[in-house]
Every structure is written in C-alpha cells, then in structure tokens.
Amino acid sequence: MIVGVLLKGYSGFYYVFAEDRVWECSLRGRFRVKDQDFLPGDRVRILPEEGDKATIEAVEPRRNALSRPVIANVDQALLVFAMTSPKPDLNLLDRLLIQVTEAGIEPIIVFTKLDKYEAALTTGAEEPSITDVYRQIGYTVFEVSNETGQGIEEVRAQLVDKVSVLAGPSGAGKSSLFNALSPGKKLKTGEISLKSKRGRHTTRHVELMVCAGGLVADTPGFSSLFLPPMKRAELAGCFPEFIDRRSSCRFNSCLHDKEPNCAIKAALENGEISAGRYEHYLIFLQEVIEAERRY
C-alpha cells in the first residue's frame, strides 16, 4: 500500500495524489458500511490496481479540519487580499487570522495587485502600505503582482511539500494568484464589478490541486465569518502584539477596554501597536461577549 492525499471526491470515486500521480480510487465495502466521510486533504492508504485505479484501504487521523472550506490536514492558509481595487478589508483579514490560527494552521498573508498599488501611490491616490504593520507583528507577508510576476517566486517557494488553502474576499485575485503560481493549470477568474468594486465569486467547489510542488485548494470567497468560540479573556491571546504586554496591566483580568492602567492602551497611545488592529479587537470583544450571553 502507498500513502497519498485525497484531492476530491466525484460521482462515487475519490482522486488521490500519491507518488507524483493521481489515482482514481473506489472504496472498500467497510467504508460504505461505516458511512465514513472523506475530506480533501485526508491522508489515505491506497492499494494500487490496474493502471491508475486503486482502492482506499485506510484513512489516517486528521491533524485539523476546517468547516468552511471543508478540508483537512491543512499546513497553511494563504490569506489573499488586494492592496487596491478593491481596498483591503482589514477587519476580515484580522478575523481570518484568528480563525486559521485557532484551527492550528499557519497564516500567510499575500497582498496582490502590487503593480496597481504602486502606480496609484505615485499619483497620490493611495496611502502608504499597511503591510509593514503585519510584518512587525510577526506574520509572514508577501506582496505580489499576478500580472507582472513580481513576488510570485517567493510565494511559490512557500508552497513546496505543504497543503495550503487560498482564502480571502472576492476580487482579491485568488484564482489569478493560483494561475500565476501554476501557469499550466488555469482557474477561471472574475472581473471586478464597477458598481460595487467587488469581485464576482468564481470558485464553486473545494478540491486540492497540484501546484508549485505542493497541494493547494482555491476556496470560495468568504462573505461573512464568525469568530471561533472562545471566552472574552482568551481573545487578547489571538493578537500577538498584545501577548507580551498583558502582564504589565494593572489587573490580571484586564480586557484592555475601559480598565485603568492598561498596558495595551498605553502601547496604543505610544504608537507601538496599530490603531486599526486595536479597533478590530474592541469590535471582536463585543462579539465574543454577546456570544457568551447567548450561550
């Protein structure tokens, strides 16, 4: 038997990538009896048969699993946001950072449309980039142009031997990024609606595809995303720039909102942390508190 990664299921067959090829697999009867569920990303053991046919003999335990998108054993999430056209929704970015980190997945931020941003910057139509804010916090950040290829090689190197998902809002260039990373395989791209300045969703399903030495899932755009279940005291731990400063707060139970002698608010006043990130923290804090009251 050989071990591979499930790419997708279709019409009763499962397609598994193993030993640099794709196998069309059927199930052993015991899986049908057990009603075993299979997710893209599942590591499975297969028994090769004639040609590219095989049977799935066993499923290995999952390291993690996401419900949206539905996928398992993800190593990293590439959070794809345009630098301009449309402007990046940083509230959504911060939500996604919390979501993937809490799921045990490494977040990688990819800002696209670098060429358009630089052109707008020279005319004064854009403000200086916010990418340094996230780099200083400690996140891995790439700036790329899907059109010119700038920064693409660095992202491609990040994908080798990993299972990755592309996530982010419509119009950010996820499908265009995949096409730039893997020129031989084209995903449909959506144009930007001039009226709404938002992109049209072009991804309808989730499947893993071989890309740049790894496996990548181009996932549907997120129109809304709730924070994972947590207690109010846990939220600050989802903001890396808060973690080392919390011990300097006057109260151990400080929520960094209205409490006096708060080290987080002092850092904000001194310009040591991002005002936008802190604003998002307060928004998320209220959401967590409201969720606590409901449940």
Q: Are residues 49 and 152 in the same domain?
A: no
Residues 98 and 171 placed together within one structural domain of the fold:
yes
Residues 97, 174, single domain; the answer is yes
Task: For CA atoms 117, 134, 74, 234, give the dihedral sign.
Answer: negative
Residue 122 lies in a domain: yes
| Tokens representing residue 136 in the block | 């200083």
- Asked if 191 and 101 sit in the same domain, the reply is yes
Q: Tell me the sheet residues that pair with 87.
A: none
Q: What is the DSSP string of 132-179?
A: HHHHHHT-EEEE--TTT-TTHHHHHHHHTT-EEEEE--TTS-HHHHHH
Residue 280, domain extent: 232-294
Q: Which residues pair with 2 in a beta bridge?
A: 46
Peptide bond preceding 48 in cis form (omega within 30 of 0): no
Of the candidates 20, 21, 16, 19, the one whose C-alpha atom is nearest the C-alpha of residue 5 is 16
Chain length of the chain: 295
* pLDDT for position 183: 79
Specify whether 187 is located in the same domain as 89.
yes
Distance CA 217, CA 287 (A): 29
Q: How far apart are the first and last CA of the chain?
A: 47
Averaged pLDDT in 10-residue chunks for the chain of 295 residues: 93 92 87 73 95 93 84 94 91 94 94 89 69 94 94 96 91 89 63 40 66 82 70 97 96 96 98 96 97 86
On whether both 101 and 204 belong to a single domain, the answer is yes
pTM confidence score = 0.86
* CATH code (residue 33): 2.40.50.140
* Domain contains 226: no
Phi, psi of 212 (to 5 degrees): 50, 40
We report the CATH number of the domain holding residue 73 as: 3.40.50.300
- Shared-domain flag, residues 31 and 95: no
The predicted pLDDT at position 2 comes to 95
Check: CB of residue 154 under 8 Å from CB of residue 142: yes
Domain boundary among 40, 59, 78: 59
User: Domain ends where: 32, 59, 86?
Assistant: 59
Counting the structural domains of the chain, the total is 3
**Looking at the structure, do residues 79 and 176 belong to the same domain, yes or no?**
yes
Same domain, 129 and 21: no
Q: What angle do CA 44, 47, 53 make, to 5 degrees?
A: 100
Return the biggest CA–CA distance within the chain.
71
- Quote the pLDDT of residue 194: 35
Residues 115 and 204 placed together within one structural domain of the fold: yes
Predicted local confidence at residue 221, as pLDDT: 45
Query: Does one domain contain both 74 and 103?
Result: yes
- pLDDT score at 220: 58
Judge if 51 and 70 occupy the same domain: no
Q: Is residue 208 one of the residues assigned to a domain? A: yes
Assign residue 253 a region (left: φ > 0; alpha: ψ between -120 and 50; beta: otherwise). Answer: alpha
Domain end position, chosen among 218, 244, 273: 218
